[in-house]
Amino acid sequence: MLDIKWIREHADEVQQAADDKRINLRVSELVELDDERKRLILQTDRLREARNAASRTIGKLMQEGNADAANAVREENAAMLAELDSLQPKLAAVEQQWSQLMLLVPNVVSPATPRGASDADNVQVRQAGEPPAFDFEPKSHVQLGELHGLIDLARGVKTAGTRQYYLRGAGVLLHRAVQQLALDVLLEKGFTPLEVPLAVREETMVNTGFFPLGADQTYRIADEDRLLVGTSEVPLISYFSGEVVDVSEPIRLAAASLCFRSEVGSAGRDVHGLYRVHQFAKVEQVVLCEADPSVSERILHEITAHAEHILSLLELPYRVMAVCTGDMSQKTYQQFDIETWMPSRDAYGETHSSSNVHDFQARRSNIRYRGADGKLHYCHTLNNTAVASPRILIPLLENHQQADGSIRIPAALQPYMGGMKRLAPPVAIDDASTAETRE
């Protein structure tokens, strides 16, 4: 959320952000509504003051035993009271409309953000590693998963519907190994781990900037004011909601959690295998810092570098993309996506995202700190996907496959896999289990 005074002073910039982010908002309408709201507040405040003064006068007259004079004051103020009664519901209606429009106001974007309409307009910042050049016909992660008994999509659909899956055996171990590796990297970087609630109040989704515009992506628990989160960013930010915090050093939080997204509107898009599923796990990093753009920009690069380090440990080729205006969410000021090479797609696919939100979430969540000037200021907040699985299993399996059907396990993951160095191809007998070797 932005400050209404700031919105009025930067109306053109805010309107541009709304247009670029394809948010149906007319800032001029909000400003006009704010004018009306202020006018009604002024009127009702004056009428309330007059009513209270009349009440005091009537009380005094009654104490003095002058009932006739008290009744005269009542009659004189009857019209004023009627006007107040009529204005109060008007003010309530205008304030409700004003609040709804304020929740649609987007964050403005960084001057460094490229202009564009969709992810096709994102701009590559850098690339690390080269896609593998196979001298054999590579298999997709689905084929590899079935070959090794790591993934069972058919039974996932049978049990839970579309975009559901089972991981089996070493598939589960890899799924958990990449999460623990990511968490260990963040612990080394000074992050505090939290186990977070996954079902939160609607107010929490609003305060973190995921509602109202992201409501269709969220699973709601029937007959309860609770929703399943699509990222632990929501409970991590909300941990400090309504509080005054100490950000003399940035507050660094991390969580490994399940996440749930309905993926409404993505029918027919990236539905093959594990790329876009309804339930997944993420290790998320969240940082709260002082409201200094230079500080939060530095931290944005830091948390992006953490994700890049994890990908380097996984020995995967990737590229960092500056996300354009049309591919950004309402709350984001600046964003980098990391895309990892996926041979079955013959393309890079998004696996990580880093965002600087400035004080947008902190204003909604009322998270403040006391600055050197002694005044309270809203924090800047940032977030990054350290790793998301099972999507990361796509490049992990596909890039490390060998000609004999085996899958090499990166050295950094081996300690989390009991020393296992590769997943050997299944024995050519009718043995349904995966042959795993430690070499």
**Would residue 109 count as lying in a domain?**
no
94 shares its domain with 144: no
Distance CA 392, CA 263 (A): 18
19 shares its domain with 142: no
| pLDDT beyond 50 at 349 | yes
Distances in Å between the Cα of 352 and the Cα atoms of 186, 270, 303, 306, 318 are 15, 16, 11, 11, 10
304 shares its domain with 382: yes
Q: For the beta carbon of residue 68, count every other beta carbon within 10 angstroms.
A: 8
Q: Is 353 an annotated catalytic residue?
A: yes
79 shares its domain with 170: no
Position 263 confidence tier, pLDDT thresholds 50, 70, 90:
confident
**Exactly one of 263, 308, 350, 398 is catalytic; which is it?**
350
Tens-digit pLDDT profile for residues 30-82: 999 999 999 999 999 988 888 888 878 888 888 888 888 878 878 888 888 88
85 shares its domain with 125: no
Percent over 90 (pLDDT), the chain: 85
Which residue's structure tokens are 């590769």? 422
Of the three residues 102, 132, 156, the one that is the final residue of a domain is: 102
Q: Give the lowest-confidence range in 80-89, 159-168, 329-338, 347-356.
A: 80-89
Q: Is 276 an annotated catalytic residue?
A: yes
**What pLDDT shows up at residue 430?**
43
Of the three residues 41, 68, 102, the one that is the final residue of a domain is: 102
Tens-digit pLDDT profile for residues 101-130: 999 999 999 999 999 999 999 999 999 999
Averaged pLDDT for residues 359-379: 97
| Averaged confidence pLDDT in the chain | 93
- Cross-strand partners of 127: 319
72 shares its domain with 124: no
**Exactly one of 353, 354, 365, 389 is catalytic; which is it?**
353
**What pLDDT shows up at residue 432?**
44
| 296-306 as b/e: b if 16+ CB within 10 A | bbebbebbbeb
Total tally of structural domains belonging to the chain: 2
145 shares its domain with 25: no
**Would residue 301 count as lying in a domain?**
yes
> At 314, which CATH number?
3.30.930.10
Overall residue count recorded for the chain in this entry = 439
**Would residue 298 count as lying in a domain?**
yes
**Exactly one of 201, 276, 370, 408 is catalytic; which is it?**
276
**Exactly one of 284, 391, 398, 422 is catalytic; which is it?**
391
Of the three residues 102, 127, 151, the one that is the final residue of a domain is: 102
Position 431 confidence tier, pLDDT thresholds 50, 70, 90:
very low
| pLDDT beyond 70 at 164 | yes
What does R_g of the chain's alpha carbons equal in angstroms? Answer: 28
**What pLDDT shows up at residue 267?**
56
393 shares its domain with 283: yes
Distance CA 213, CA 228 (A): 16
Q: Is 329 an annotated catalytic residue?
A: no
The SS3 of residue 63 is: helix
Tens-digit pLDDT profile for residues 216-253: 999 999 999 999 999 999 999 999 999 999 999 999 99
Burial environment of residue 337 by CB neighbours within 10 A (0 to 12, 13 to 18, 19 or more)? buried
Position 269 confidence tier, pLDDT thresholds 50, 70, 90:
low
211 shares its domain with 247: yes
87 shares its domain with 127: no
Q: Is 48 an annotated catalytic residue?
A: no
**Exactly one of 252, 261, 368, 422 is catalytic; which is it?**
261
Domain extent, residue 84, equals: 4-102
| pLDDT beyond 70 at 438 | no
Q: Is 438 an annotated catalytic residue?
A: no
Burial environment of residue 379 by CB neighbours within 10 A (0 to 12, 13 to 18, 19 or more)? buried
| pLDDT beyond 60 at 8 | yes
Q: Are 339 and 329 in contact (CB under 8 A)?
A: no
**What pLDDT shows up at residue 439?**
45
